[in-house]
Amino acid sequence: MNLINHEEVQFPGLGIKFDVNPVAFKIGNFEIYWYGILIALALVLCIILALKQAKKNNFPDTLIYDTMLVTIPCAIIGARAYYVIFNWSTYAGNIQSIFDTRAGGLAVYGGIIACLLGLLIMCKIRKIPFTSLADYCVVYLPLGQAIGRWGNFFNQEAFGTTTTMPWGMWSESTRSYLTRFCPELVALSPVHPTFLYESIADLIIFFVLLNVRKKSTHAFETTSAYFVLYGAARFFIEGLRTDSLYIAGTEIRVSQALSLFLVFFGLFAIAYAHLKNFERKPFPEKLYVVPEKEEEEEGKEESEDSEKAEPEAEAETEAKDEDEAEDETKALTETAEKEPEAEKPAEEASDDEEESEDEQTKTKDSKAED
């Protein structure tokens, strides 16, 4: 789809106009598109939420980084490969254009399929339960899709057929595209903003899956719920779009066929998991090594603190003993000083007795003389 770098986007029924430019800014001659910024923002937000909620869901947080390292390249390669395969006539004469992703041409379903295959291989190699990994991470997929879909708005692409609904959208890009590829439609009429429909649907699915993951204990149930919900929403939205990919030689839209398959597969997987009572498998203990090290470090810190506290306690005890000893010494000294004072009255008393005896003797002598 040929894009105009700077144009006005209108919602005539709502009386709203936007001045839109798909290029956010430039670094020299290199253009940075809003589409790329939104995808990067969605990725960062999903990683932050996944890390924040990992402990509560008993999920090894280190595994989130490993998952991102696998899914990011798989998503790009898969999304591009899916688009090229089902639009081969456009690239058959120019193979080099296959690698020019900046010109557009990424399919969400291709990215999802490639990510699942990449994670499945990683889990097999590392002996990690794939269903448990998928059930935790799939929750953030629709959130990323909800944010990324707004890149279609800035690019003025992925819109639907003409509509009389008040939220119908019109721009020079929609008029140009309809004139070239959909001559049966009135090019000056507003079109369905299907990117907006899917963004809203994805956001609702995100909150539903949060609740499903919280309550579910069955393997692959949360992932299957995503297949059912997103498949159903995409099936109806895809029917409105004007840029759908078709199975060669047919009028069957590829994304609609795949959406229908995902709905039935998801329902079957949920029913089978409940019937066989497939419980979610725990992750290997080796993935929790980092938390254990942190606990050991905390234990070491506590032991060091206790070791430091012991000498301090001993010093305090010795100080107390010394104080008590000093007090006892003082008490003994004071007692010793008081004892001589007590003896003095006794001595004085004995002197008085002697004097009284002498007086009695003198009295007797005087009487004898008489």
The beta strands (E) that lie in 191-324 are given as none
Confidence of residue 47 (pLDDT cuts 50, 70, 90): very high
Structural domain spans, the chain: 23-155+193-283, 284-339
Are 261 and 112 a contacting pair, CB within 8 Å? no
Of 14-18, 22-26, 85-89, 307-311, which range is least confident?
307-311
The more confident residue out of 100 and 364 is 100
For residue 211, pLDDT beyond 60: yes
Are 206 and 143 a contacting pair, CB within 8 Å? yes
Of 26-30, 38-42, 151-155, 223-227, which range is least confident?
26-30
Confidence of residue 370 (pLDDT cuts 50, 70, 90): very low
Query: In the prediction, which pLDDT does 369 show?
Result: 47
- Tens digit of each residue's pLDDT (9 = 90 or more) over 312-336: 556 566 665 566 656 666 665 665 5
- Tens digit of each residue's pLDDT (9 = 90 or more) over 331-344: 656 655 555 554 44
Confidence of residue 102 (pLDDT cuts 50, 70, 90): confident
For residue 296, pLDDT beyond 90: no
- Tens digit of each residue's pLDDT (9 = 90 or more) over 118-158: 999 999 999 999 999 999 999 999 999 999 999 999 999 99
Query: In the prediction, which pLDDT does 331 show?
Result: 60
For residue 279, pLDDT beyond 70: yes
Residue among 175, 215, 213 nearest 191 (CA) = 175
Query: In the prediction, which pLDDT does 247 show?
Result: 93
Total-model pTM: 0.78
Of 72-81, 159-168, 264-273, 360-369, which range is least confident?
360-369
Are 144 and 43 a contacting pair, CB within 8 Å? yes
Confidence of residue 300 (pLDDT cuts 50, 70, 90): low
For residue 190, pLDDT beyond 80: yes
Query: In the prediction, which pLDDT does 90 show?
Result: 84
- Tens digit of each residue's pLDDT (9 = 90 or more) over 5-24: 679 999 999 999 999 999 99
User: What average pLDDT does range 219-224 have in this prediction?
Assistant: 97
Backbone phi, psi, residue 100, to 5°: -90, 75
DSSP string for residues in 58-76: T--THHHHHHHHHHHHHHH
Cα-based angle 68, 69, 75 (whole degrees, multiple of 5): 70
Backbone phi, psi, residue 73, to 5°: -65, -35
Query: In the prediction, which pLDDT does 215 show?
Result: 95
Query: How many Cβ atoms are within 10 Å of 135's Cβ, its own excluded?
Result: 26
